[in-house]
Each structure stands twice: as C-alpha cells, then as structure tokens.
Structure 1
Amino acid sequence: MLQKDPLFRRREETPYRPPAAPVPHAAPAPSAGAAAAPDVAGTGKAGEASKLVVGPEVKLKGAEISDCDTLVVEGRVESALDSRVMQIAEKGVFKGAAAIDIAEIRGRFEGELTARKNLVIHATGRVSGKIRYGRIKVEEGAEIAGDVAPIGAPAEAAARPLTPQRSP
C-alpha cells in the first residue's frame, strides 16, 4: 500500500499567497577600484540616466546612438554618438564620430573624438584620428596618434609640430 508523504499533502493544503508589495533589490556596492560611473540601466523614468552596454560579442554598425547618457563598449561599435560618457573596455572597439563630455578608453577608438571635459586613455588604450579634448590624461603604455589638440586651439597651432625654443 502506498502512503502519502505528509510534506506533499501539507503543501496542497496551504494556499499560495503572493507578497503584498514587490521587494526592492539592493544594488551591490561598488568595489574600491571601480570607476565612479552611473550604474543605472535605461529605465525610462524621469531624472534617471540611460545606459547602453554593447556586450563582448556584440557588433553594432551604422546606427546613430542618441538619448544615451552612458555608452559602455565591450564589443564593436561603428556609429555616430553624442552622449555624456563613453567607456571603452580593453577588448572594445569604437569606430566613428563621438562628441561626449567624458571618455575613458581602455580599448580602441578610431575616428573623430571630441571629449568636451575629460579624455582618459588608459595603458591598454589606443586612440587614432582627429582628437579634441578639454583635459587629457594619457597613462604610460597608451597609444595616441593623429590630429590631437585641446578644444579651442587654433587649427594652425594644432597642426604645427612642437619645436624647442632657444632663449636669447
């Protein structure tokens, strides 16, 4: 003869009751070495930042990226971008034109880059093309090539190579 397991019988007798209110999930605290960037995915709520992450195996080509507060490139992007923050991961590649406030480059950027406030090129970063910046930080080991000048510099001064000056 078969006997019913009390555990299963009890479960059938207890009706399911959903939680009264959704439980908010706490965001993990950033690690000490993490960059201070917004960790907000685009939720569409007023006052919140929008963030687009192009993953490691993703290729985005031919689209103009707009209404994006932060772009994180882990894969490959060929596009035009006007945004606040762009972060290119070590294996990330961005080709095209970007006008942004803050650029943090650990991977490759090829094209026309205007970093209105800060441009940071980490040791693994490679930047080439027409580059304009408000302030710049280039770590040892980084590579930068092309037409590089601060925003507002006269075109002829930007194109002129630096030569040592002799004092009279």
Structure 2
Amino acid sequence: MNDKNDMSKENSIYIGEGVVFSGSIKAPNQAIISGKFDGELEARDVLIGASGVVTGKTTAQFVDVKGELNETVTSRELLIVRGTGRVRGTVTYGEIEIERGGQVKGDMIQR
C-alpha cells in the first residue's frame, strides 16, 4: 500500500450499482453500497450512495445515507441523512444530521 487512498480501501467492501447481494457482511473499515444489499451489515463506516438500497440490520460507528436504508439501524456516533436519503425503521444514533429533503420515518432512539 503506497498511497493513502489504497489504505482506506483495505478491509473495506464495495457493492457497485447494479449489484444485488443478500447475506451477512462484517467489514473492519468501510462498507460502500451503491447497489442493493439485504441482510446484516456491520462496519466501522457505512456509506450508502444515491443508488444504494440497504434492507436489514445495519450497525456502524458512522452512517452516511444518500440512498435508502431500511429496517434496523444503529449508528453509535453519527448518522447523516443527505437530501436524497431515506431512512425507514428503528434508528438508534449518537448524533443525527438530516439535510433538507432527507427523510427519516420510524422509531428514533438517541443513545
């Protein structure tokens, strides 16, 4: 690993646009979802792109949503819902930031 960008990719997973994955993922670093994921997702950072759809149980320190996040979400530190983001379900968070246009529907629990 010679440059900083390579280091950020180490121990990370990327699900690209058009890719559909069902199952369980545990990534020590980042999980970047631009496709569709259904199942249990655990990572330090979860980044959901504008075309990304995640359904199931999601657990992370930091969650950034530009697409859709459904069912059970635990963001131990910060949950950011961007203007294009939609979160539906039970949301547990340390802090939350919702941009204008962002949607959160369901039960919200601050840690």
> Does the pair score TM above 0.5?
yes
Which position in structure 2 is the counterpart of 1:52? 13
How far the C-alpha of 1:40 sits from its partner, in A, is: 2.4
Which position in structure 1 is the counterpart of 2:61? 101
Q: How many residues align?
A: 111
1:113 and 2:73 are equivalent in the alignment: yes
Residues 119-155 of structure 1 deviation map (CA, whole Å, 9 limit, x = unaligned)? 000000000000010000000101110011202xxxx
5+ residue gaps in structure 2?
none
How far the C-alpha of 1:72 sits from its partner, in A, is: 0.2
Identity %: 23
Decide whether aligned partners of structure 1 residues 72 and 65 sit closer, same or farther in structure 2, where only a CA change above 3 A counts.
Answer: same
Decide whether aligned partners of structure 1 residues 133 and 26 sit closer, same or farther in structure 2, where only a CA change above 3 A counts.
Answer: closer
Amino acid at match of 2:51: K
Which protein shows a greater Rg?
1
1:40 and 2:8 are equivalent in the alignment: yes
Contact 1:52 1:68 in 2 (8 A): no
2:90 to 104, 114, 130: 130
Which position in structure 2 is the counterpart of 1:71? 31
Alpha-carbon distance between aligned partners in 1 of 2:64 and 2:96, rounded to the nearest angstrom: 10
TM-score by length of structure 2 reads 0.91
5+ residue gaps in structure 1?
1-23, 29-37, 43-49, 152-168
TM-score by length of structure 1 reads 0.61
Secondary structure in structure 2 of the residue aligned to 1:57: coil
Residues 82-114 of structure 1 deviation map (CA, whole Å, 9 limit, x = unaligned)? 221000000100000011100000000001000
Aligned runs of 1:16-35 on 2, under 5 Å?
A: none
How far the C-alpha of 1:41 sits from its partner, in A, is: 2.2
Amino acid at match of 2:18: E
Contact 1:88 1:106 in 2 (8 A): yes
